[in-house]
């Protein structure tokens, strides 16, 4: 009798432990903070020799907003959608005289990468993942201006962007800036990489890789492996460049390459990517759940993937929605917001919860979008 009683007690304890563990497992959540383009402001266009030597970043707004958001959200991971810096430490100011003779060339007097990376809390440094943007990639930028010597100022300052980092050298570039990315699986030596975590797989896709076929093969293989071995994990793809954009094909070839766009849509649908997030556009936008329905996209309608643009954390473009996005795209936009914003992805065992917050009057963060993927 006692033996049976003891057995029942042991069984009951085991059952309670199992139920407790199951409950913990079901309630375990991972929160990801998604930040867009930062592109810190500076006073480079207001040159005089004294100001240049004392040149500093306009860091107050970023530091304040970033610290506030970190306190509010307490994220486990940070994803950044590119253009983490404005000038990739390859900025030079070329001073010429009125007839075009070069007088001096001055390098940028501060290091944006160092400042930005110091802003990431120590406990999140190895959980910070970005996709490389065009401002992160510029090999060299020249600001050229004509010296008005009597006023010690420059006139007619113009910006000349020289070449991008070779796509085959971006792996080295990224690992040099973020050492923990050495643990990622990279596509050859390009800027496209894959990270595996307990509750999600992240594919960070560099949209500037020129050799398309090997890149697409790599992405499909990774998607296939995820579906085969980790179907329970959420699958997230980030890229600086949008698959869909308001800019016209014939004026923006890099952003709207129809071949890779159509291929990626089919891949994302086939392998049930949970969410695709891009930057670059400097606004928040999410397409309707039923997908894109206009003739320009050749009848391609995404069935599963949620497409989001999260790309404005500090420095918005002062543009109107109707001017930036042609009218024919408007019907496909479910949510649009042009101000400063960020998103959170909260992953549990049963769902992916997505919230986006916009900064409105009196520094108040308001929920501007919410949806859930089961």
> What is the pLDDT tens value at each position of the chain, 374 positions in all?
455 666 666 556 665 655 555 444 456 899 999 999 998 876 666 677 777 777 777 777 888 899 999 999 999 999 999 999 988 888 888 888 888 889 888 888 888 898 899 999 999 999 999 999 888 988 888 888 888 888 878 888 888 888 777 777 899 999 999 999 999 999 999 899 999 999 999 999 986 555 678 888 999 999 999 999 999 999 999 999 877 654 444 444 444 455 566 778 889 889 999 999 999 888 888 876 555 554 445 555 566 668 888 888 887 665 444 444 433 444 667 788 888 999 999 999 888 999 999 988 767 899 999 988 88
DSSP 34: E
Look at residue 345 in the predicted model and tell me its pLDDT.
Answer: 97
Distance (Å, whole) CA 335 – CA 346: 20
Look at residue 36 in the predicted model and tell me its pLDDT.
Answer: 93
- Residue 75: partners with Cβ closer than 8 Å, 6 or more residues away: 31, 32, 33, 124, 344
> What token pair was written down for 95?
């001073």
* Spatial CA neighbour of 356 closest among 33, 117, 72: 33
Look at residue 8 in the predicted model and tell me its pLDDT.
Answer: 64
* Spatial CA neighbour of 229 closest among 169, 193, 271: 271
Look at residue 59 in the predicted model and tell me its pLDDT.
Answer: 74
Look at residue 249 in the predicted model and tell me its pLDDT.
Answer: 42
Q: 3-class DSSP state for residue 94?
A: strand
């Amino acid at each position: 009798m006692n033996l049976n009683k003891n057995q029942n007690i042991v069984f009951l304890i085991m059952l309670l432990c199992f139920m407790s563990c199951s409950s913990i497992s079901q309630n375990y959540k991972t929160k990801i903070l998604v930040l867009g383009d930062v592109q810190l402001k500076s006073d480079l266009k207001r040159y005089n020799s004294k100001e240049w030597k004392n040149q500093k970043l306009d860091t107050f707004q970023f530091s304040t907003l970033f610290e506030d958001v970190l306190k509010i959200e307490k994220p486990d991971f940070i994803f950044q959608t590119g253009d983490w810096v404005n000038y990739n430490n390859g900025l030079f100011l070329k001073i010429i005289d009125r007839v075009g003779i070069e007088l001096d060339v001055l390098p940028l007097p501060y290091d944006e990468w160092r400042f930005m990376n110091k802003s990431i809390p120590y406990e999140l440094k190895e959980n910070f993942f970005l996709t490389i943007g065009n401002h992160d990639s510029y090999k060299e930028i020249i600001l050229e201006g004509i010296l008005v010597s009597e006023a010690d100022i420059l006139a007619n300052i113009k910006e000349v962007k020289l070449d991008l980092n070779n796509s085959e050298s971006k792996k080295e570039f990224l690992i040099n800036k973020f050492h923990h990315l050495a643990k990622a699986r990279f596509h050859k030596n390009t800027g496209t990489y894959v990270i595996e975590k307990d509750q999600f797989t992240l594919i960070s896709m560099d949209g500037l890789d020129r050799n398309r076929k090997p890149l697409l093969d790599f992405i499909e293989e990774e998607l296939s492996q995820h579906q085969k071995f980790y179907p329970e994990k959420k699958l997230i793809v980030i890229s600086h460049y949008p698959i869909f954009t308001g800019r016209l094909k014939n004026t923006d070839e890099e952003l709207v390459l129809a071949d890779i766009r159509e291929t990626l849509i089919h891949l994302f649908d086939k392998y049930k990517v949970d969410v695709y997030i891009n930057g670059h556009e400097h606004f928040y936008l999410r397409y309707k759940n039923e997908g894109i329905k206009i003739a320009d996209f050749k009848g391609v309608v995404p069935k599963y993937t949620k497409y989001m643009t999260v790309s404005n954390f500090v420095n918005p473009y002062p543009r109107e929605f109707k001017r930036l996005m042609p009218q024919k795209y408007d019907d496909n936009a479910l949510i649009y917001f042009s101000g400063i914003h960020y998103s959170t992805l909260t992953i549990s065992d049963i769902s992916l919860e997505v919230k986006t917050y916009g900064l409105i009057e009196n520094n108040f963060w308001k929920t501007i979008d919410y949806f859930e993927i089961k």
